[in-house]
Amino acid sequence: MKLHPQVAASLAARPRPTQEQIATDPMAQLLATRAAMEAAVDRECGPPAPVAEVSDVDANGVPCRLYVPAPGAPVLLYLHGGGWATGSVETVDRLCRRIAAGSGCAILSVGYRLAPEHPHPAAIEDAEAALGWLRATAPGVDTTRLAVGGDSAGAQLATVVARRQRDAGTPLAYQVLINPCLDPTMSSASFAEFGELGVEATAAALFWTLFVPDAGDRLSPDVAPLTADLAGMPPTLILTAEYDVLRDEGERYGDLLLAAGVPTVVVRYLGVNHGWARKLALFDAAGPAADQVAAGLRAALA
């Protein structure tokens, strides 16, 4: 397979642990991956774009970062990727800044608890606690206009939060899902085809195990959104990547939303692999992806 040069450069920029290393000492490799992601932010994601107000806040006990481009802005609750076990508000800081600046929308980026120290449902509990804080407490923003979004594992959390809010009678206005990780069976054709390009099959299986140790619990809609009743979900934007193991499950979710009558836009970005959207310094497509998210938010929350 001939890769886009930027995919090859991205893979070379931060070498991943081998399958043998993961199998030998998974926790040591996980801790190393967390540290490597943090250390690579400037190199992969570029300099921070200015936003009028950026502050680290305590949202009902959950550490979060709040970006407010202007007083009275609508709000996006954002959940970072990283297999529910890596990533942080730092690893998506540049992406959140660009979306906030481009959309005029405030963003609450959630530092939810990570597996395996805190397995499911800790991350969902933290996301909902942060959302509750937004609605009750957040200063200077318009919480009558709320959206939810995330990338990879964070997109899984985002769409679960959206469905649970629908069920609670407090629906959200919009959801943004970037490279969503939605199928614990990992059975799609793209998983077999692209398992060495950013998310290896062994690593993905480990992340699911760390997040939900009991395989029987992975059948729940709170874990596997492809199994959920999707009628009445908020209008949705889904971005997938050509060379991503998660491509097919994200696009299948879009088909299911459309079949349920949910206004949905699905866009496949060509020549990119998993995690491209936050790597603004490595991928030419990352900026347009962030800008597309910003445009969707402007239209949905105007």
- Active-site residues, by number, are 152, 244, 274
Spatial CB neighbours of 256, under 8 Å, sequence gap ≥ 6: 226, 230
DSSP 233: P
Give dist(CA 212, CA 126) in Å, integer: 16
Query: Tokens 């349920």 belong to which residue?
Result: 260
Give dist(CA 173, CA 271) in Å, integer: 31
Q: Which two tokens stand for residue 159?
A: 């769409």
Give dist(CA 117, CA 199) in Å, integer: 21
Q: Which helix (H) or strand (E) holds 202?
A: helix 201-211
Spatial CB neighbours of 56, under 8 Å, sequence gap ≥ 6: 63, 64, 65, 66, 89
